[in-house]
A and B are shown apart, each in its own frame.
Chain A
Amino acid sequence: MSGPSEPHRPPVERFTKSAARNIFYGGSIFFFVVFVALTAHSHWYIVTTSTDEASMTASVIRGKHVWEKHSCINCHSILGEGAYFAPEVGNVWVRYGGRDDAGGAREGLIAWMEAQPTGIEGRRQMPQFHLTEQELNDLVDFLEWTSRIDTQGWPPNDAG
């Protein structure tokens, strides 16, 4: 800082506006590049390791589109993301016992969807989407495939 011998010099600003600006632009570019690089690695990890691309059949993909067409995400969550109005479906296959009895789980899930809405007074209602036999099976295939994603051990239990 300026001493008494140099009374007219303005105080030296150590951290100036242009320093702040340069740090902002430089740092942001740096972190953005790191982020993109990590995403690229994650992309590769997902297609090779954590999801089973080999079993991602045409029906699994069609099932995902059925899921999207009816916007199931705006009531349910899938892998914890979506709405909080209805149960998690990322592990619904497991909850229905699909790991031990695939046929039973498939029948159970299809029967559930066909029985909606229950119309029970005071209970949340799931709509009737009038899905065809094929759409129902595609959807189950999609849910089964999803249940096999390596999610680092989430959810904590079958309740989802």
Chain B
Amino acid sequence: MKYASQRVAYWYFVCAMVLFGVQILAGGLAGTVYVLPNTLAELMPFNIIRMIHTNALIVWLLMGFFGCAYYLIPEEAEREIESPFLAYLQLVLLMVGALAAVIGYTQGIHGGREFLEQPLWIKIAIVVVALIFLYNVSMTVLKGRRTAVTSVLLLGLWGIAVFWLFAFYAPDNLSLDKVYWWYIVHLWVEGVWELVMAAVLAFLLIKLTGVDREVIEKWLYSIVGLALFSGLLGTGHHYYWIGAPGYWQWVGSIFSALEVAPFFAMVVFAFTMVFRGRKDHPNRAAVLWSLGCTVGAFFGAGVWGFLHTLSFVNYYTHGTQLTAAHGHLAFYGAYVMLNLALISYAMPYLRGKAPYHQTLNIVSFWLMSGAMTVMTFALTFAGAVQIHLQRVMGMSYMEVQDEIAPFYWVRLGSGVLVVIAALMFLWAVFGPVRERRRVARQDRAAALQAAE
């Protein structure tokens, strides 16, 4: 840690990990209701559990992004954060809002547009949080050294805030409502979030491999270019069947198929840099998560996205368990893994220790990624059977669900493994580190801080 104010990132990561826990516990509960449907049916119906699962996911990913920004911007801009106080204030507001929302959901206080269930006052609080954040990071960047990493990161973060404003526009006409709903959902994950992802990844690769910044930043601009050129018009893959004009079947199919390109480029980028650079970075777990996140995103978003993105395929797959399979691997592979990569990298510096608990962290990587892969395959097979029976043969929805029940048991089993892996990860980054080891490695840590 070169700048004292980077310390705020530590608390962002702590809060993000708390909500990560809430998210996967709610996921586990939702998975249980799928196989044992009477579970809690009266106390907490499935819709409430699911809302907590998806909202906690999105909020903790954003909180993680904020933490990433507060960690890396001082090093890039070569100055302290404009106002650490505002950074803490922003965190408290966001965390209180998030917990209040979760408690409110259990009491039936919520809206009814998927992912945007937050009551109005929480939506407004999110805007306030975003304004504080954007002021704080933008001032830090403007007054300091400008790099491609911070330019792309800031553009992504501003984009997140701007598209969020569509949360306040809910037309009465259902088709219009859907058109603009995707301005948030799609333009986030397949647009501006990709900018954040590429920028954080570029920062990690600069630090972990020592490859020349010029080279990395040229890659960065190329990747985010590919992302927006394909992803903006790629929104069309959600406009096929909601009342929008037929031309979206062409526009959406062609451009969203191209969305695979930036994710593929990220894989090539990360592996090339690691191969070219020095191979002895002591934080092996951070290197693994960084590489893994590009592969996870490529499969989850790229391959599983492409699987159902062409309009004549989507006609049959739209809104089935295949969509859930893709949603899980894409969110996990791209954004969960990215956050865990930066947390793995930053925590030793934030705690002033040499990289620790490497083996445990690496085991949690393989267990979590393996379990998410099993979950994805279980849902993909469930989706394939569902598509055949329901969409092709015309069998009724509930009958089909009985046929695919075994896959839901597999999903639950893999979900439990994800929870275990997450606990291992938490121990690996937050768990106590024995002093003896620290002394033994102190020189190495000092050398590392100097070389960084």
Contacts and interface: CB of A to CB of B under 8 A. Distances in A.
Contact of A20 (B50, B221, B319): B221
B218 to A, nearest CB: 4
Interface stretch (A69-77, A97-105, A131-139): A69-77
A73 B54 CA distance: 13
A107 interface: no
Nearest to A32: B232
A125 B214 CA distance: 58
A125 to B, nearest CB: 4
A123 interface: yes
A17 B111 contact: no
Contacts of B239: 42
Contacts of B397: 86-88, 159-160
Interface string B110-148: 111110010000000000000000000000000000001
A79 B242 contact: yes
Interface stretch (B7-15, B37-45, B440-448): B37-45
The residue among A42, A68, A158 with the most chain B CB atoms within 10 A of its own CB is A42
Contact of A72 (B112, B178, B228, B235): B112
Q: Is the interface of B mostly helix, strand, loop or mixed?
A: helix
Interface in B177-198: 178-179
Given A51-B175, A146-B174, A41 B245 contact: yes
Contact of B242 (A28, A35, A151): A151
B221 A24 contact: yes
A110 interface: no
Given A20-B225, A70-B112, A81 B243 contact: no
B222 A149 contact: no
Nearest to A61: B172
A53 B5 CA distance: 55
B218 A20 contact: yes
Contacts of B42: 117, 127
B318 A72 contact: no
Contact of B319 (A31, A34, A56, A84): A84
Interface in B204-229: 214, 217-218, 221-222, 224-225, 228-229
Nearest to A74: B47
A154 interface: yes
B103 to A, nearest CB: 16
A23 B229 CA distance: 10
B174 A50 contact: no
The residue among A28, A45, A71 with the most chain B CB atoms within 10 A of its own CB is A71
Given A17-B148, A64-B174, A155-B391, A79 B241 contact: yes
A64 B172 contact: yes
Contact of B178 (A34, A81, A121): A81
Nearest to B215: A17
B46 interface: yes
A157 B47 contact: no
A75 B319 contact: no
B235 A74 contact: no
A7 interface: no
A17 B214 contact: yes
B235 A68 contact: no
B401 to A, nearest CB: 8
B51 A71 contact: yes
B37 A125 contact: yes
Contacts of A152: 240-241, 246, 249
Given A23-B221, A46-B175, A159-B391, A127 B45 contact: yes
Nearest to B151: A21
A11 interface: no
A122 B228 contact: no
A43 B114 contact: no
A4 interface: no
Contacts of B34: 85
Contacts of B318: 80, 154-155
Contact of B233 (A35, A64, A71, A149): A35
B396 interface: yes
A38 interface: yes
Interface stretch (B59-67, B320-328, B333-341): B320-328
B263 interface: no
A46 B222 contact: no
Contacts of A77: 319
Given A68-B112, A79-B241, A152-B249, A34 B233 contact: yes
Contact of B111 (A35, A42, A61, A71): A71
B49 to A, nearest CB: 8
17 contacts: A16-B218, A17-B148, A28-B228, A34-B233, A38-B236, A46-B243, A68-B112, A75-B47, A81-B319, A83-B46, A84-B324, A85-B50, A122-B37, A145-B174, A149-B242, A152-B240, A159-B400
Interface of B: 33-34, 37-38, 41-42, 45-48, 50-51, 110-114, 117, 148, 172-176, 178-179, 214, 217-218, 221-222, 224-225, 228-229, 232-233, 235-236, 238-249, 251, 315-316, 318-321, 323-324, 390-392, 394-398, 400-401
Interface pairs A-B: 9 shortest CB-CB: A68-B112, A80-B319, A74-B47, A154-B241, A20-B221, A24-B225, A87-B397, A125-B41, A80-B318
Given A124-B398, A160-B390, 20 more contacts: A24-B224, A31-B232, A31-B233, A43-B179, A50-B245, A56-B173, A70-B47, A71-B47, A73-B112, A75-B50, A77-B319, A83-B46, A83-B50, A84-B319, A86-B397, A125-B41, A151-B243, A154-B318, A156-B316, A157-B391
